[in-house]
Structure formats: C-alpha cells, structure tokens
Amino acid sequence: MLDSEYGKLIVEAVRPINREYYADKLKYWIVKSDIGTERNAELLTKKIFDEQVPENKEICKGRLATSMRCTKPAKCNGYCGFHQKQYKPPVGSNVNGNRIARPQNVPTLL
C-alpha cells in the first residue's frame, strides 16, 4: 500500500470522529455567541465537515529570494524547474551488499 493510499484511509477513518466531536461544539458556540441561528450553524458545519478534501499535490520545496516557500508544482526531486539548483542530494554511507562503503578521506573512529 502506498503512503498516499494509507493517508487517505486514515483521513476517511478520522473524518467522522472529528465531525461528531467538533460539529456540536461549533454549533453551540455559534448560537451562544449570537453569530448566527441554529440553521446557519448547521449549514456551516455541513459545509466544513462534508466537503471533499482536495488532492494534495506536491509543491516545490524551494525558497524564494524573500525566504518564502515556492508555490509552483514540483517536477523533479520535489523542486520546480526554477529551483532545481537548490536540490541537495542526500549525504550518507553507500551500502554495497553487506558492507558499508565509507566516503573517501574521512577518518574513522578508533
């Protein structure tokens, strides 16, 4: 099972629990605060809890010059075409069969 499928299963299992717990509290607060009527509160909770959650498309992990996250869709390695140069490959030991190949010129601990 893929991570995205597993995530969808979790969301579908938790959604009814959240609706049951928070909808009553939200309705009570709206009516008690005189923000709206009970009918308006019911419509609002229905809109909040019964709408379909949009697909979570992966966005770029890159940073703009203003140090904010880029909002373009990711293309390769989690970065858009403009921020590809910000990608840093993972650093670590390479595994060859049962042996671990250590990077060259790195002292080992005694």
pLDDT in tens, 65-103: 898 888 888 888 888 989 988 888 776 655 555 555 556
* Pair 44, 71 in one domain: no
pLDDT at 74: 87
Q: Which of 34, 50, 66 is the last residue of a domain?
A: 50
In a domain, 110, yes or no: no
Decide if pLDDT at 50 tops 80.
no
In a domain, 109, yes or no: no
Bridge partners of residue 100, in order along the sequence: 95
CB 30 within 8 A of CB 36: yes
User: Any residues with CB less than 8 A from the CB of 1 and at least 6 apart, and which?
Assistant: none
In a domain, 83, yes or no: yes
Q: What percent of the chain has pLDDT over 70?
A: 74
* Pair 65, 100 in one domain: yes
Decide if pLDDT at 105 tops 60.
yes
For the packed helices 3-32 and 38-50, what is the interaxial angle rounded to 10 degrees? Answer: 170
Number of domains in the chain: 2
User: How far is it, in rounded angstroms, from Cα 40 to Cα 32?
Assistant: 13
In a domain, 18, yes or no: yes
- With cut-offs at 50, 70 and 90, classify the pLDDT of residue 48: confident
- With cut-offs at 50, 70 and 90, classify the pLDDT of residue 108: low
* Pair 46, 69 in one domain: no
Mean pLDDT of 24-49: 85
Q: What percent of the chain has pLDDT over 90?
A: 3
CB 60 within 8 A of CB 79: yes
Domain of residue 74: give its range: 58-104
User: How far is it, in rounded angstroms, from Cα 25 to Cα 74?
Assistant: 38
In a domain, 92, yes or no: yes
